[in-house]
Amino acid sequence: MVRKLLEYKKFKEAADQLHQMRNEHKNVFLRRGAGEKEKIVADDGTEYFEASLFDLITAFKKVLTEIPKEIFHTVIKSEFSVSDKIHDIYHMLAKESTLQFSKLFAKTKTKDEAIATFLAVLELMKMHEIMIVQKDLFSDIEIMRNPDLIKKEPGVTENS
């Protein structure tokens, strides 16, 4: 009987300690850092990791600042659509396995064209057609076709 009471006392003390630890850590929130991200290996063996949306927005902000200021009184008919830009990006990625984000905007003349291009990139990301990657933290952002989709295409084998 005494042994059972001592065992009960140990469990009671352990429960009290766990309760106290829970109360101490109740208002502690851990910040998830840049930690170890999953590596993506391209066909040529180059290792990448997926860039965040914040990295993409920062790169787009930089692109917008590099576009020459438009004349405010000139009205230009919008010649660009998101679907046209999606088509352009597909053609660029058919020629090259990876594409620098800044290269997409190299020939951009207006902010409307830059915005249409950026929306096309976001739409392709949403459709999981492309991946936005970086070689290192703060390095240039690159766009590559989703490797999972490339493997599923007809006529493409694992070894090719």
Distance CA 118, CA 124 (A): 10
Q: In whole numbers, what is the pLDDT of the chain averaged over residues?
A: 78
Q: Is the confidence at residue 68, as pLDDT, over 80? A: no
CB count within 10 Å of CB 74 equals 6
Per-residue confidence (pLDDT) for residue 13, from 0 to 100: 92
The pLDDT of 114-129, averaged and rounded, is 90
**Terminal Cα distance for the chain, rounded:** 74
Q: Where are the alpha helices (DSSP H) in 74-155?
A: 82-95, 101-104, 111-126, 147-152
Distance CA 87, CA 51 (A): 23
pLDDT in tens, 11-54: 899 999 988 888 887 777 655 555 555 667 666 777 777 777 78
pLDDT band at 75 (very low <50, low <70, confident <90, very high): low
Per-residue confidence (pLDDT) for residue 159, from 0 to 100: 46
pLDDT in tens, 84-113: 999 999 898 888 888 888 888 888 878 888
CATH of domain 39-152: 1.10.10.580
What region, left, alpha or beta, does residue 80 occupy, with left being phi > 0 and alpha being psi -120 to 50 degrees? beta
pTM: 0.59
Check if the beta carbon of residue 91 is closer than 8 Å to that of residue 120. no
